[in-house]
Structure 1
Amino acid sequence: MSLRSKVLALLEVFLRVPPLFVVDEFLKISLGLPVSSGEEVLVLSNVTVDHVDVPESDGNYYDANFYNAFFFTFFKFVVCCLGCMSSLCVFVLYTKHLIIVYLYIISLGIVFISYWVNVSAIKQIQTLTQAVASAQPSASILEDILNLNVKNLLDLDGPGFLVIQNFVMQYSLSYLFKNVHLGPHHQTIQKMLPLSFMAPSFLAMLPVPPSFLHHSPVFSTLLPLFLINYVLWYSAYTIVQVIYTGYQHGRLFVSNYGLSALVETEWMRLNVPCVLRVFWVLRVAEQAILLLVDNYEDDTEEALKVSTLLAVQSLASMAKSLLVTGCETITAVLGMTSVISFFCHYIGNFFQWILLTDEEEDKSIGTVSAILFYILALQTGLTSLNPEKRFIRLCRNFCLLFTALLHFLHNIVNPILMSLSASHNPSTHRHVRALGVCAFLILFPLSLLVYLWSQHSVSTWLLAVSAFSIEVVVKVVVSLMIYSLFLIDAYRSTFWEQLDDYVYYIRAFGNTIEFCFGIFLFFNGAWILLFESGGAIRAVMMCIHAYFNIWCEARAGWSVFMKRRTAVNKINSLREASSDQLNQLDDVCAICYQEMHSAKITRCNHYFHGVCLRKWLYVQDRCPLCHDILYKIENDPKDNNSEAGNEENSNNQNLLLEEEPDLLPGDGVR
């Protein structure tokens, strides 16, 4: 991407940030809805209308006040909602339409700035003129200009200097307005604009009545306001047409490709993550500047000579305040989520660089972390807490996010470990890198647990963090044990038949531990929901956890266990090959191409390793060589149709096993 393209992309991002600030301001005031404090609730709770005699006239007065307050609150809420919707509509505009909107807003802002500058200047000029006239009755600004009295004109405390200053300011504003306004650029109108802006300054030099001079700033805004209103009315049809075209485009896109495709396309077009990051950084920078200004105004000469410790404490307090204010609204939480996603993405890239891998699936760590943090923020009601509780909750959410990040890192290193051990990779530095990451994934959560349990009392949050940390340690230990078994098998000269059983038992142990932790976390969440902080989002997340992490995992684990047990029974029903038969055969297993020191003989008189044949039975019940039935079920004399029943049973088992053709016996209870 060229430098010009990068600059344009950055400019487009900055153009979409102001609508988010508008929405954020509306959310700060809770969309105009009143927020009652605890004291107000206490006062209201002490008032009982049943025991107070209210005259009829007073009752009507209170009813009228209540009606007016309700109407005013409802009006504010509607205005705030319309403001939020308008800001979001501006946010999703295309760049060319967005530029037009900003040009219109800038031109309107210039008119108001010109008006207030003229009002302020006229008031000061009138005050100074009266003071000068009382001392020198014959003096005036026009005479000083005609007589070229430079001394009076350049006097900083004189009215002449204010007039010149206002001239320069108004001419600059008129020049800027001429270039940004969207009205008709006729030559006559363009020439009249500077005169309109500078008219109050001209009138201030003439002996006009004070009342007329006082109202002159209003008349100076008539021409630019006419141009602005003309643009608004002239573009009304175009605005409606753009909105309708956007609606038609979205509707057609959804009907052809689906809602998810539309969201993904617009997400990429608007560059939402980058916009949210810039919004949050600017918002935090604004809060930091305000805090620094407040601290600077409160500091004295003695306070400036603080020690380094006090300076560090001040920085820590400032960082805490910025974190608290950085998640006080939904838009602020979205911005913080985007920043966290950015850092998590580069953390994942760092570990990928260490492990010398570049898998595309592992690059989603930033997206998954962002979703998890945002769900935690909504689930814990982060924006509705007071500042102190919000900071504590934010730190706890960060701890949960860090433990989840460790699980993501294990998902990156685990397939690399299995690949290095199973492929007999001789690259020592790759083994060392992978083992170093595993050591980090064991030591860091253990250190975190030691610190948390030494600094905090037992709570549901601490139990949840502990469960996640212990779970990641168990998963890493299981991966290292399987990695060690594969390495041992790589240096063996003979086929290791028990390897598959050992791998299955280790994985079954790890998956059983994870399943138990899933049940524990469900009950822990249920306790929080019932006795600490309930909510619809937490209830929904618990239902999702119960279905996917408990019910689906238990069903899948039981299915694998039953299929493995069925396969073992089938293998045990086959004859074991003797040493003489193996010596006479003098061949390798047709499945793994390894030498056979022990084997099973099928009904079709073919020889295979028992372990290899068991793996094959996870795919189908027929011989890999001749496709005959591998095992024979004893006929039941009481069944008249035993042969047909056996054939039907075999077909049903084939259909059942073909549902998961990639399942291997070492996959564990999952």
Structure 2
Amino acid sequence: MSLRSKALALVEVLLRVPPLFVVDEFLKISLGLPVSAGEEVSVLSNITDDHVDISDTEAIYYDATFYNAFAFILLKFLVCCLGCMSALCVFVLYTKHLIIVYLYLLSLGIVFVSYWTNVSAIKQIQALTLAATSTQPSVSILEDILNLNLKSLLDLDGPGILVVQNFAIQFTLSVIFRNVHLGPRHQTLQKLLPITFMAPSFLAMLPVPPNLLHHSPVFSALLPLCLVKYVLWSSAYDVIHVIYAGYQHGRLFVSNFGLSALVETEWIRLNIPCVLRVFWVLRVAEHAMLLLMDNYDEDSDEGLKVSTLLAVQSLASMAKSLLVTGCETITAVLGMTSVISFFCHYIGSFFQWILLTDEEEDKSIGTVSAILFYILALQTGLTTLNPEKRFVRLCRNFCLLFTALLHFLHNIVNPMLMSLSASHNPSTHRHVRALGVCAFLIIFPISLLVYLWSQHTISTWLLAVSAFSIEVIVKVIVSLMIYSLFLIDAYRSTFWEQLDDYVYYIRAFGNTIEFCFGIFLFFNGAWILLFESGGAIRAVMMCIHAYFNIWCEARAGWSVFMKRRTAVNKINSLREASVQQLDRLDDVCAICYQEMHSAKITRCNHFFHGVCLRKWLYVQDRCPLCHDILYKIDNDPTKDNNSEDSNEDNSDNQNILLDDEDPDLLLGEGVR
């Protein structure tokens, strides 16, 4: 991407940031309405009055306060919704329409800045003129200019300097307005605009009546304001047409490609992650500037003598304050989520660089981390907590997120370990890199657990973090044990029939531990839901966890167990080859191409390793060489009529693939 393209992309991102600030400010508005002190006093005075009944007072209070408060809250809610909707509509506009909106807002802002600048300058000029007339005869600025009264004109506290400053400001504003306004650009209007902006400054130089000079800023703003109003009314049809065209485009796109395709397309077009990151960084920078200004004022009173310890404490307090304010609204949480996704992506890229891998599937760590953090924020009600509790909850969410990140790193290193051991890779440095990452995935969770249990009392959050950490340790140990078995098998000169059983038992042990932790986490979440902090989002997440991590895992594990048991029973029904038969055959197994010291004989008189044949049965029930039935269903001759049906059933099952979690699939033909 060229430098010009990068600059245009950055400008487009910056153009979409202000609508997010508008939404953020609307979300900060509280919908509550406390009772005012005057109302409380009036109610108390009515209660103490002997001629007013208490029930009547309560009715008056209810009618005068409750309904007014409800109407005011409803009005604020509608205004906030309208403001958020308008800002989001501006956010999703195409770049050309977005520029038009900003040009209109800029021209409108220039009109108001010009008006308030003129008002401020005229007030100061009138005050200085009034103070001067009390000591000397009234002399206008124009007379000073004609008389070349440089002393009065160059007086820094005099009205002449104010007029010159206002001249410069209004001329600059008029030039900007002439170039950015979207109204008709007639030559006469373009020439009148600078005169209109600078008219109050001209009048301030003349000996005009104070009342006329006082109202001159209003008249100077009429022409540019009329142009802005004309643009607004003349563009109303275009605005409605753009909104309707966008609606039609979205509706047609959804009907043709689906809602998910529309969301993905708009996500890429708007560059939402980058926009959210820029918004959050600017938002945090704004709060940091305010905190620095406050600290500077406090330090200036104390002589700017701050020790190193106090400076560190001040930085820690500032960081805590920035983190708290950085997640006080939904938009702020989205921005923080995007920043966390950015850092997690590069953490994953760092470990990919260590492992010398570049798998595309492993690059989704940033997306997964963002989704997990945002779900945790919604689940724990992060935006509704007070600052102190919000900081504690945020730290806990970060801890949970990092333990989940360790699981993702294990998913990256585990296939690497299996590949290195099964493919007999002689590259020592790749083995060292993978083992180093595994060591980190064991040492860091243990250190984290030691620190957390020494600094915090037992709680549901601590139990959840501990479960996640122990689970990742168990998964890494299981991966290392299987990696060791594969390495031992790689240096063996003979076929190792028990390898498949050992791998199955190790994986079964690890999967059982993970399943038990899944049940434990479900009950831990149920306790939190019932007794600590409930909520619809937490209930939905618990249902998802119960289905995917408990029910689906239990069903998959039981399916693997039944497949294995069925395959073992089928293999046991086959004849065992004798040593004389193997010597007479003098051949290798057609599945793994290894020498046969023991073998099973199929109905079609083909010889295979029992372990290889068992793994083949996970795929289909026919011979790998002649595609005949591998085993007999029933030896009863009276049921031969059903053999064709059995053959059809077996042929229907020949395309059944082994589940991804099945450990035996990893020991297939490619391993040998």
TM bracket, shorter-chain basis: over 0.9
1:658: Cα distance to partner? 3.4
Partner of 1:578: 578
Answer yes or no: is 1:658 the counterpart of 2:666: no
Q: What is the CA–CA distance in structure 2 between the aligned matches of 1:448 and 1:426, rounded to whole Å?
A: 34
Partner of 1:240: 240
Deviations 1:76-130 (A, max 9, x none): 2111111100000000000010001001001100110111111111111111001
Which of 31, 34, 58 lines up with 2:32 in the alignment?
A: 34
- For residue 169 of structure 1, what is the amino acid of its counterpart? I
1:140: Cα distance to partner? 2.0
Partner of 2:645: 648
- For residue 657 of structure 2, what is the amino acid of its counterpart? E
Name the CA shift for 1:647/1:561 in 2 (closer, same or farther; >3 Å).
farther
Answer yes or no: is 1:404 the counterpart of 2:401: no
- For residue 206 of structure 1, what is the amino acid of its counterpart? L
| TM-score, normalised relative to structure 1 | 0.95
Q: What is the CA–CA distance in structure 2 between the aligned matches of 1:10 and 1:225, rounded to whole Å?
A: 32
Partner of 1:624: 624
1:610: Cα distance to partner? 0.2
Q: What is the CA–CA distance in structure 1 between the aligned matches of 2:663 and 2:388, rounded to whole Å?
A: 52
Secondary structure, counterpart of 1:139 in structure 2 = coil
> How do 1:157-168 and structure 2 match up within 5 A?
157-168=157-168
1:420–1:431 Cα contact (<8 Å) kept: yes
1:139: Cα distance to partner? 2.2
Answer yes or no: is 1:85 the counterpart of 2:82: no
- For residue 447 of structure 1, what is the amino acid of its counterpart? S
Answer yes or no: is 1:129 the counterpart of 2:126: no
Q: What is the CA–CA distance in structure 1 between the aligned matches of 2:382 and 2:653, rounded to whole Å?
A: 47
1:615–1:665 Cα contact (<8 Å) kept: no
Partner of 2:393: 393
Partner of 1:456: 456
Secondary structure, counterpart of 1:370 in structure 2 = helix
1:507–1:667 Cα contact (<8 Å) kept: no
1:280–1:326 Cα contact (<8 Å) kept: yes
1:253–1:262 Cα contact (<8 Å) kept: yes
Partner of 1:511: 511
Deviations 1:141-176 (A, max 9, x none): 121011121221111111111111111111111111
> How do 1:106-145 and structure 2 match up within 5 A?
106-145=106-145
Partner of 2:469: 469
Structure 2: runs of 5 or more not aligned: 36-40, 667-672
Name the CA shift for 1:445/1:259 in 2 (closer, same or farther; >3 Å).
same
1:185: Cα distance to partner? 1.0
Partner of 2:383: 383
Q: What is the CA–CA distance in structure 1 between the aligned matches of 2:612 and 2:502, rounded to whole Å?
A: 15
Deviations 1:318-345 (A, max 9, x none): 0000000000000000000000000000
1:72: Cα distance to partner? 2.1
Out of 226-235 and 299-308, give the one that drifted further. Answer: 299-308
Partner of 1:309: 309
Q: What is the CA–CA distance in structure 1 between the aligned matches of 2:628 and 2:57, rounded to whole Å?
A: 99
Percent of aligned pairs sharing the same letter = 83
Q: What is the CA–CA distance in structure 2 between the aligned matches of 1:384 and 1:644, rounded to whole Å?
A: 72
Q: What is the CA–CA distance in structure 2 between the aligned matches of 1:98 and 1:224, rounded to whole Å?
A: 22
Partner of 1:608: 608
- For residue 224 of structure 2, what is the amino acid of its counterpart? P
1:115–1:221 Cα contact (<8 Å) kept: yes
Q: What is the CA–CA distance in structure 1 between the aligned matches of 2:176 and 2:663, rounded to whole Å?
A: 75
Name the CA shift for 1:665/1:360 in 2 (closer, same or farther; >3 Å).
closer
Q: What is the CA–CA distance in structure 2 between the aligned matches of 1:53 and 1:646, rounded to whole Å?
A: 97
Secondary structure, counterpart of 1:659 in structure 2 = coil
Q: What is the CA–CA distance in structure 2 between the aligned matches of 1:573 and 1:306, rounded to whole Å?
A: 85
Deviations 1:223-280 (A, max 9, x none): 0000001111111111111111111111111111000000000000000000000000
Partner of 1:342: 342
Partner of 1:184: 184
Name the CA shift for 1:469/1:102 in 2 (closer, same or farther; >3 Å).
same
Answer yes or no: is 1:354 the counterpart of 2:390: no
Deviations 1:526-555 (A, max 9, x none): 000000000000000000000011001101
Partner of 1:262: 262
1:564–1:665 Cα contact (<8 Å) kept: no
> How do 1:495-574 and structure 2 match up within 5 A?
495-574=495-574
1:655: Cα distance to partner? 3.7
1:340–1:369 Cα contact (<8 Å) kept: yes
2:621–2:653 Cα contact (<8 Å) kept: no
Deviations 1:344-379 (A, max 9, x none): 000000000000000000000000000000000000
1:503: Cα distance to partner? 0.7
Q: What is the CA–CA distance in structure 1 between the aligned matches of 2:53 and 2:655, rounded to whole Å?
A: 81
Secondary structure, counterpart of 2:134 in structure 1 = helix
Structure 1: runs of 5 or more not aligned: 38-42
1:58: Cα distance to partner? 7.5
1:482: Cα distance to partner? 0.6
Alpha-carbon RMSD:
2.0
1:507–1:666 Cα contact (<8 Å) kept: no
Q: What is the CA–CA distance in structure 2 between the aligned matches of 1:137 and 1:55, rounded to whole Å?
A: 70
Partner of 1:59: 59
- For residue 194 of structure 1, what is the amino acid of its counterpart? P
- For residue 490 of structure 1, what is the amino acid of its counterpart? A
1:352–1:358 Cα contact (<8 Å) kept: yes
1:621–1:650 Cα contact (<8 Å) kept: no
Deviations 1:624-665 (A, max 9, x none): 11111111133458xx5x224455345445545633356655
| TM-score, normalised relative to structure 2 | 0.94
Q: What is the CA–CA distance in structure 2 between the aligned matches of 1:325 and 1:5, rounded to whole Å?
A: 34
Deviations 1:491-537 (A, max 9, x none): 00011111111111111111111111110100000000000000000
Q: What is the CA–CA distance in structure 1 between the aligned matches of 2:124 and 2:424, rounded to whole Å?
A: 87
1:118–1:200 Cα contact (<8 Å) kept: yes
- For residue 456 of structure 1, what is the amino acid of its counterpart? H
- For residue 238 of structure 1, what is the amino acid of its counterpart? D
Secondary structure, counterpart of 1:131 in structure 2 = helix
Partner of 2:6: 6
Q: What is the CA–CA distance in structure 2 between the aligned matches of 1:36 and 1:614, rounded to whole Å?
A: 75
Q: What is the CA–CA distance in structure 1 between the aligned matches of 2:647 and 2:407, rounded to whole Å?
A: 41
Partner of 1:40: none
1:62: Cα distance to partner? 4.5
Name the CA shift for 1:34/1:550 in 2 (closer, same or farther; >3 Å).
same
Q: What is the CA–CA distance in structure 2 between the aligned matches of 1:334 and 1:647, rounded to whole Å?
A: 62
Q: What is the CA–CA distance in structure 1 between the aligned matches of 2:34 and 2:584, rounded to whole Å?
A: 91
1:320–1:391 Cα contact (<8 Å) kept: yes
1:304: Cα distance to partner? 2.1
Q: What is the CA–CA distance in structure 2 between the aligned matches of 1:494 and 1:487, rounded to whole Å?
A: 14
Q: What is the CA–CA distance in structure 1 between the aligned matches of 2:648 and 2:560, rounded to whole Å?
A: 19
1:592–1:612 Cα contact (<8 Å) kept: yes
1:302: Cα distance to partner? 4.0
- For residue 253 of structure 2, what is the amino acid of its counterpart? F
1:60: Cα distance to partner? 4.2
- For residue 312 of structure 2, what is the amino acid of its counterpart? V
Deviations 1:589-639 (A, max 9, x none): 0111110000001111110000000011111111111111111133458xx
Q: What is the CA–CA distance in structure 1 between the aligned matches of 2:293 and 2:649, rounded to whole Å?
A: 77
Partner of 1:212: 212
1:142–1:205 Cα contact (<8 Å) kept: yes
1:215: Cα distance to partner? 1.1
Q: What is the CA–CA distance in structure 1 between the aligned matches of 2:623 and 2:485, rounded to whole Å?
A: 29
Q: What is the CA–CA distance in structure 2 between the aligned matches of 1:327 and 1:294, rounded to whole Å?
A: 21
- For residue 666 of structure 1, what is the amino acid of its counterpart? D
Name the CA shift for 1:667/1:324 in 2 (closer, same or farther; >3 Å).
farther
Out of 589-598 and 623-632, give the one that drifted further. Answer: 623-632
Q: What is the CA–CA distance in structure 2 between the aligned matches of 1:297 and 1:15, rounded to whole Å?
A: 34
Secondary structure, counterpart of 1:623 in structure 2 = coil
1:603–1:630 Cα contact (<8 Å) kept: yes
Secondary structure, counterpart of 2:357 in structure 1 = coil
Deviations 1:199-224 (A, max 9, x none): 11111122222222111111110000
> How do 1:277-292 and structure 2 match up within 5 A?
277-292=277-292
Q: What is the CA–CA distance in structure 1 between the aligned matches of 2:648 and 2:564, rounded to whole Å?
A: 18
1:288–1:322 Cα contact (<8 Å) kept: yes
1:355–1:434 Cα contact (<8 Å) kept: yes
